[in-house]
Structure 1
Amino acid sequence: MKKSIIYPLLMVSLFISSPSWAHSLWLNIDNYQPKVGQAVQIEIGWGHKFPKDEIMKEGFLNQVYALDQKGIKISLKQVSQTEFEFIPRAEGVYTILANIHPGFLTKTTEGYKLGPKKGLKNVVSCFRFDIRAKAIINAG
């Protein structure tokens, strides 16, 4: 009896569930297995629709860089506000990392405000965010 009810409910929930979209911050990499010396194009994705949704506001992005196998930080060439280029100089695995400036988002009865709840009226909720993304590249 119990199984006969659970199975149809599971099937109904499967068919009416909405599709999942990428959320917040991600990295679009054009080549995850470049040759040594071959340029890799990196684009910052932001929003809710993969592969690209919204253009990130100026100054929102904090850092974009690479780490080699030894944990040494490597700067990337910035091509535009949301595009970067990385050229691996040796064989190995590299991690590309990005983050935005952490902060607070407060919901009030008038809408959302970027910042802490201090000094705001009619606060419904508030949370701190620290959003990061990473991608792995295998050069060689």
Structure 2
Amino acid sequence: MKRIPTVLIIALLFTASMAHAHSVWINAFESHAHGGHNAMVSLGWGHALPMDDILTSPNGRIAIEQFDLLDPALKKTKLLKPDFKVAKPELSNGDFDLFAADLGAQKIAMKKDGSQGVYQLSAVSQPTFYTQYIDKSGKTRMQLKAKSELKDIKKVLMAVKYQAFAKSCLTVGKWTDPKPLGHGMEIIPRTDLSDLHVGDLVEVDVLFYGKPLTATAKSIEYITAHSSSFGQSDGFCLMSYIMDGKAQFRVQSSGQWMIGASHKDDVTEDGPLKDLYGKAEQVYHSASLTFTVK
């Protein structure tokens, strides 16, 4: 039996870990009580909608670089962004540890004379580099730094950059298809998310650095979709291939839904990711889009 090269094992392990990794998403729950239009907004992190873990968990954490609200004309307003500091228990006893949680929870109260259309909520994580290498003394090391920042590399085993992007929408008045925000990876709805019912078809565009993703023999691109009321509790989801940047599925239940997608691309000296040449050899991005079905 042939031995699998160490570098291949590392690549496979990283790919597998990414497939089961935490996701980041935006919770946006709207209310029209008392004649107003409010939205309670927060960030989600982990595996289970609407809340699974804290963003600064010792077991897996993510730093949010940008958290914004964009109006229908794409004018950007910065939202309250959670602080990033690895959490330590505020209280600990023989039965449990108690952690404080900052999920960026805030209320957006729309004004009656405000702009009409689709507002987009956007969250972008801080880019993170992972470099695994053999140093000049022969030891295997892992650093959360770009390859170009390390001076004692003898052989690179893995050099990747990871970043996550999340979106949700608030509709004031009439729905119009939202414009791309320019995320590194982006899921753009092409269905009215403000009036979805069970059985409706949801269509989306999926872009990687502004260009449509598509399934090929080299890379099988797809979206997943699940809900707190469908698939999540049993550990499965719906899946749709991305062809020429487009994918679709039918919602199966009411409640909050999330569409997710991830993509790996190689960094080359003259390719679309050439600004990362020398820093990373591959880029892993993930994107999410959340919405509510009536």
- Relative to the length of structure 1, the TM-score reads 0.63
Between the two proteins, the alignment pairs up a number of residues equal to: 120
CA pair 81-45 structure 1, distance change in 2 beyond 3 A = same
Question: Equivalents in 2 of 1:21, 1:114: separation in Å?
Answer: 20
- Matched-pair identity in %: 26
Higher RCO, 1 vs 2 (CA within 8 Å, ≥6 residues apart) = 1
Contact 2:64-2:81 at 8 Å conserved across structures: no
- In the TM superposition, what are the counterparts of 1:116-127 in structure 2 within 5 Å? 116-117=146-147, 118-119=150-151, 124-127=157-160
SS in 2 for 1:26: strand
Which of 57, 61, 66 is 2:64 aligned to?
A: 61
Which of 109, 112, 119 is 1:87 aligned to?
A: 109
Question: Equivalents in 2 of 1:42, 1:128: separation in Å?
Answer: 28
* Residue matched to 2:144: 114
Instruction: Give a deviation string over 1:67-101, Cα, whole Å, max 9, x none.
Output: 11111112335697322332223232100001111
Instruction: Give a deviation string over 1:46-77, Cα, whole Å, max 9, x none.
Output: 12333323211298111111111111112335
* Residue matched to 1:128: 161
State yes or no: 1:75 paired with 2:107. Answer: no
User: Which residue identity is paired with 1:69?
Assistant: P
In structure 1, list runs of 5 or more residues that go unmatched: 1-19
Contact 1:106-1:126 at 8 Å conserved across structures: yes
In structure 2, list runs of 5 or more residues that go unmatched: 1-18, 83-100, 135-139, 174-294
